Structure 1
Amino acid sequence: MATEKFFQELELPQQKSQDGVLFPAVLSPNYSSDTTAVDLYGFKEAIRANKTWLESLLNERGVIFFRGFPVKSSSDFNGVVEAFGFPEAFYVGGRASRTKVVGRVYTANEYPPDQGIPFHHEMAYVPDFPSKLFFFCEEEPGKGGETPVVLSHIIYEKMKERQPDFVDQLEEHGLTFIKVAGEEDDPSSFTGSSWKSTYKTEDKNVAEQMAAKLGTKLEWIGNAAKIITGPVPAVRFHKETQRKTWFNSLAVSYNGPASDQSNKHNTSLELGNGDLVPDDAVKDFMSILEEECVAIPWKKGDVMLVNNLMVLHSRRPLLKPPRRILASLWLAVIGVAGHVPDFPSKLFFFCEEEPGKGGETPVVLSHIIYEKMKERHPDFVAQLEKHGLTYIKVAGEEDDLSCFTGSSWKSTYKTEDKNVAEQMAAKLGTKLEWIGNAAKIITGPVPAIRFHKETQRKTWFNSLAVSYNGPASDESNKRNTSVELGNGDPVADDAMKDFLRILEEECVAIPWKKGDVMLVNNLMVLHSRRPLLMPPRRILASLCK
C-alpha cells in the first residue's frame, strides 16, 4: 500500500484508546522504506498521493498529528496545508484576534500566551464554520502551551448520562451567544477581536450586512457592537460516524454564575429560549473535558490536522516561553447547474490531463438536499415548490472567461443576430432585454423542485447556488447573475446559508486521475468544480438527453 511507503504510526504516552483505536493518530516518516518522505517536497507529494487515505484516517480518528517531518517555517507550513487541496475557509465572523502571516496561514490566537483558552469547536456559532483546522509549531514551547483535543461525541455521551435534562434543553433550544466588541482589537482577551476585524470593514452598515449573512444581529453601544448570535444548534449529528457531537462554544462564552459580579468577560451565553445555562451542568462539562482530553507537548515542526466537526480543542497556559503556533482554516464548497426546459439527462466527464492538485468535480444526491432543506426550512421549500425561480443574467457580446457564467449571448444562442437570439431564447422560455450590445437574459419562473419518477423522490433541481448573489442590500456584489422567487420575492438569505452548508456536508469529491470517466444522472445529482491549485487540468464533457 502506498501509505506504508511514506507514513508510519507512532505511539505516544499521551494518546488514549477510544473505540479500540488510539486518539489522536500520530504519523511520522517511514524511514525504513523510503527516505524521500523526510524532505519537504517528499512530504507534500506523499500527502497528495495518499490524500484519500489521510482523509479516511481523519474521519476515523478526528485528529492526525504529524511529527518528524521537515516543516521549518510558515512558508513550509503553507505549502503543506495547500498540498491537501482543501478550499480555504475565510475567517469572517470569528472572535479571536488573528493576523495573516503568509498565504493561508494565520496566528492561532494573540491572547497572552500565559493564559489558557477553553475548549471549543472553531467558529461553531456561525453557519460557515471551518470543517478542518491545521496547527503548526514554529517555535517549541519551553514548558506548557499544549493544544489539548477531545472527541466531541464522548462529551455528548457523558453529558447525556450525567445531565440528561440539560442536554435535552440544548437539543431543543440551542444556544444564543453574546459578545461586546470594541472598534479596536483587544489582545488581552481570547475573544478580543474588534467588530472591524470580525467583519473586515470599518463601515457599520457593511458590518451589519456581513453579520446578517452569518445569522447574527448587531446592536450599537456607541462605537462598540453587541453581537448577538443565535439561537444556533449546540448539538449536531456527524454523518460519517453516525454520532451526535457536542458542537458549540459553551466553554468559551460561559461567564460563571450570574451572581458573580467580578467576572469581566466580554462574552456571555444563554439557552435559545432565554433561560440561563445551569452552573452545575457547566461544572460537570468542564470536568469531563479535562478527564477525556489528550494534550501532546508540541515539538518544533509538528503539524496537527483537526476534524472540526468531530473534535474540540483548547490551549493550556504557557509556563515557559517561547511559543509560536500558527493556524490555517479550511472548508469545502459545492455548487449546482441547470435551469432551461431542455436540460440534459446525462453528463459525461473525462479526465484528459490529471490535475496536479485540486480541481475535483464534487457530486451530491439531489433528493438528500431537498429532504434536509424541507426539514430545516419548510416555508422556504414550500415557496420554491409553489413559485419556482426566476434567473437573470447580463451577457455581453463577447465571452468573459474570468466568470464561470461568462458566456456571451452570441455563444449562448449560437448566432450574431439579435433577432435570431430572441427567437432562440423564446423557444427556451427565456426573454431577452437589450442593454446596448449586452443582453439581459430572464429565464422563468421555472420549477425549482422536480419529482424523479424512477426513485419516487423529489429532487432539488435548480441553479440557485450558481445564481445567488447574496443579500440585495450588498451593493459590492458585481456578479452578472441573480435569482429571485417566481413571484418576485427575494431568496431568503438564511435559507441559502443552510443550503450551501448542506451541500458541503453531503458532497463527495474524488480526485481525478488521467483516463477517468464519470457518468452523471443529471436528474438525480448536482455537481460543481473545486479550484485548481496546481496545473495542469483538462476535463472534457459530453451532454446527452
Structure 2
Amino acid sequence: MTGHDDWVPFEITPGNTGAEATARGLTAYLQGLDDLAGLLTRKKALVFRDFGVTPEELDVVMDELLPNRLAYVHGNSPRTKVGKNVYTSTEYPQEFTISMHNEMSYAYAWPSRLLFFCQQQPGTGGATPVVDGVRWLAALDPEVREAFKDGVRYTQNLHGGMGLGKSWQDTFETQDRAEVESFLATTGSTWEWKADGGLRVHQDRQATIKHPVTGDEVWFNQADQWHPAGLGDETAKALAQIMPAEDLPQNVTFADGTPIPAEYAVQIRDRGLDSAVDVDWRTGDLMLIDNVAVGHGRRPFTGARRILVAMCD
C-alpha cells in the first residue's frame, strides 16, 4: 500500500508555478507542459487553484485539459446540459452525501478523464471527495473482494416519459428507438422494450480493472450505488414496498444473478468514503481526475453550490 495510504491530489497554483493568476495564465502554463497525460497518470488528480477562471473562459481552459469532450450518453445520474458536452454535477438533494464512484464504470466504455469546474462555491461543506482506487480495494474485507471476482450485473429500468428515475430519451439523448438499439448493440448489453413504453437494459461488467498505464488493480464498479441498501435502510425499505428489486430504476446483482448482500453494499459505500480525501471548492477552481485511478463523490452542503462537469476519452 506504499504510496496509496497517504495519497492526496496534486495542487497547481500561481504560487507554485509562477503562472499569472488568470485563466490566460493557466492556459499558458498548460500549453507549456511537456506531458499533461503523464502528469495526470502520476498524480491521479490535479487541482487548479486561484486562477479565477470564469464561465466565459472555461472553454479555452477545457480545450487544453479535455481534448475530446464526450456527451453523457447512457449516464444514469440526473444532470442538466449547459454547454457543448458540459453538464451540471449530479442534481441530488444538497443534504445528502453522494458515495464514491468512477464515472460510468457500469458502462461498456467510460471516460478516461473528468474535469470539475466550480462556478459557485457552496456556503458550507460541498467538498468533492476523491479516493485512490487501490486504497479503496484494499480497504474491503477479503470476503467481499472474493465475492465480486466474477463481476456484477446492472439492470436499468428507464421509463418512456413518465415514471420513477430517468427516461430512456434523456439517458440516450434521443427520441429514436432505433438509435438507442444501435448504441446498445455495440456495448454487450441485452435489452427489452416494455409494454408501458419503457426500456429495460442488462449489462454484465467487471468489479475491478487494471489501470491501462500503471497496471494497478482498482475497485471499479458502482454496486453500492445501484443497490437499494446503498440508499440507507429507510429508503431501501420504502422502495421495497413500492416495487420488486427487478423493477427499480436501477438494480445490481452478482454476474450470475445472485443477490448481493446488503451488508456488502454498505461496506463498499462506507469504506470508500472513509478512504477518501476531500477537495474543498473556491469559485473559479478546477479539478482534473484520472477516472480509472480515482473515484469521486460529494459531501453535503449549504448555499448555492454549482459545479460543472465535462469528460473525455
Q: Which one of 20, 28, 44 corresponds to residue 13 of structure 2?
A: 28
Change in 2 beyond 3 A, CA 1:184/1:326? farther
2:97 paired residue number: 116
Instruction: Name the SS for the 1:256 alignment partner.
Output: helix
- What are structure 1's unaligned runs of at least 5 residues? 1-16, 332-545
User: Is 2:179 the counterpart of 1:206?
Assistant: yes
CA contact (8 A) 2:153 2:252 kept: yes
CA contact (8 A) 1:134 1:303 kept: yes
User: Is 2:71 the counterpart of 1:98?
Assistant: no
CA contact (8 A) 1:178 1:227 kept: yes
Q: Which one of 99, 108, 129 corresponds to residue 148 of structure 1?
A: 129
Change in 2 beyond 3 A, CA 1:168/1:22? closer
**Pairs within 5 Å for 1:424-503:** none
2:157 paired residue number: 180
Distance 1:111 1:157 in 2: 29
User: Is 2:117 the counterpart of 1:132?
Assistant: no
Change in 2 beyond 3 A, CA 1:97/1:184? farther
2:245 paired residue number: none
Greater relative contact order (Cα < 8 A, sep 6+): 2
CA contact (8 A) 1:256 1:263 kept: no
TM-score (structure 1 length as normaliser): 0.52
CA contact (8 A) 2:5 2:135 kept: no
Distance 2:285 2:275 in 1: 22
Moved >6 Å (runs of 4+): none
2:143 paired residue number: 165
CA contact (8 A) 1:199 1:211 kept: no
Q: Which one of 282, 289, 308 corresponds to residue 291 of structure 2?
A: 308
Distance 1:66 1:114 in 2: 26
Distance 1:22 1:261 in 2: 37
CA contact (8 A) 1:45 1:83 kept: no
1:85 Cα deviation after fit: 5.2
Distance 2:65 2:144 in 1: 39
Distance 1:277 1:20 in 2: 28
1:297 paired residue number: 280
**Pairs within 5 Å for 1:128-527:** 128-159=109-140, 162=141, 164-171=142-149, 173-184=150-161, 192-221=165-194, 222-229=196-203, 231-256=204-229, 261-263=237-239, 266-318=249-301, 320-331=302-313
1:40 paired residue number: 23
1:22 Cα deviation after fit: 4.5
CA contact (8 A) 2:193 2:199 kept: yes
Moved more, 251-260 or 277-286: 251-260
1:329 Cα deviation after fit: 0.5
Distance 1:185 1:101 in 2: 23
Across the aligned residues of Structure 1 and Structure 2, the Cα RMSD in angstroms comes to: 2.5
1:59 paired residue number: 41
**Pairs within 5 Å for 1:1-20:** 18-19=3-4
Distance 1:218 1:174 in 2: 19
Distance 1:152 1:20 in 2: 11
Instruction: Name the SS for the 2:269 alignment partner.
Output: helix
Post-superposition CA distance 1:317-360 (Å, at most 9, x none): 22x211110001111xxxxxxxxxxxxxxxxxxxxxxxxxxxxx
Instruction: Name the SS for the 1:251 alignment partner.
Output: helix
1:244 Cα deviation after fit: 0.7
Among all aligned residue pairs of Structure 1 and Structure 2, give the percentage whose two residues are the same amino acid.
27
1:18 Cα deviation after fit: 4.2
Aligned residue pairs, count: 301
Distance 1:65 1:109 in 2: 20
1:193 Cα deviation after fit: 3.2
User: Is 2:57 the counterpart of 1:76?
Assistant: yes
